Amino acid sequence: MQSAPFVRIRGTQKSGQTFVSSALLRARHSTLALACYTARVRRLIINADDFGLTYGINRAIVEAHQHGIVTSATLMANSSAFTEAIELAKSQVSLSTGCHVVLLDGKPLLDPARLPSLVDTKDGNAFRNGISGFALRALSGRIDSDQVEDETTAQIRKLQSHAIQVSHLDTHKHTHMFPSALSGILRAARTCGVPAIRNPFEVIAANFAGAQRRLWKRYAQVKTLRGLAGSFRRAVARAGLRTPDGTLGIVATGHLNPDLFRAIAENMPEGTWEFVCHPGYLDDDLRAVGTRLRESRVEELAVLTSAEARAALEKRGVQLISYRDL
């Protein structure tokens, strides 16, 4: 945050010196005090991923927005419940809707022949599966950023063609943390006029998650990739996009419960953050999807719509915002 500007008004000359009135100095001190106050504000975007994946997930996201603390959601352009998700997004005027860009574990919108660095050679119609393989390919220079840009642009444009004002971007399994993918995604965002992107790097997990054994594996994965955070911020700044200070909830994905949410709220530092969540209903559609997040989605929905979760945020003085407010 920039400091308050120093305003100087010329007045009566004494010994050739320009002086500043005591009233103006008091005004400047008040402005500086306001700047310090705003620096201490804790703001939180609560974003539900996977909008459009199934009808049960669609219903849960809307409920978590209407009756809970979800403020934003990201919609998958090539998903089985896409049409319903579009209509629901339009009906929820206070829900900030972004694009959940998929570059693995799914099928592209573009002709797969145009995306050889992203598509599985065994199944020429689908992306490769799994973040580990994507990470290895990205870090070894085998992900073509131009192909990422083209596919990301297609996914954003599909949402925009259905009259969705895309407020932000994130990616399935946070593939945009890798520079070769990020560069293409940022170019697509600029082309399509999308102003903001998720900062996928979790900072505060070390304060409490490392002490919980069931989160150790996830915590270790997140910590290993934290070295990419600096290059991410510089790239986003050069592209002229906005991004929060970081994310909360990634380590807790699949394990969220009331106690863990309260711990996250209590450890939330000053600044603007995004809490990443995955509410949903466990139905036949979800059982048919290749995801580890099934029963946990129901548990997350219960947390996100609970009075206890809202009270935990209020106790910490957290202001809920959406990506439109970033």
pLDDT in tens, 163-185: 999 999 999 999 999 999 999 99
pLDDT in tens, 138-152: 999 999 999 999 999
CA dihedral 131, 47, 242, 133 (to 10 degrees): 0
pLDDT in tens, 102-150: 999 999 999 999 999 999 878 788 999 988 899 999 999 999 999 999 9
pLDDT in tens, 259-316: 889 989 988 999 999 999 999 999 999 999 878 788 889 999 999 999 999 999 999 9
Listed by start position, the domains of the chain span: 1-40, 42-325
In 3D space, the residue among 204, 159, 152, 192 whose CA is nearest the CA of residue 175 turns out to be 152
CA distance 316 to 266: 6
* CATH, domain 42-325, list 3.10.180.10, 3.40.50.300, 3.20.20.370, 3.40.50.1390: 3.20.20.370
In 3D space, the residue among 75, 102, 72 whose CA is nearest the CA of residue 274 turns out to be 72
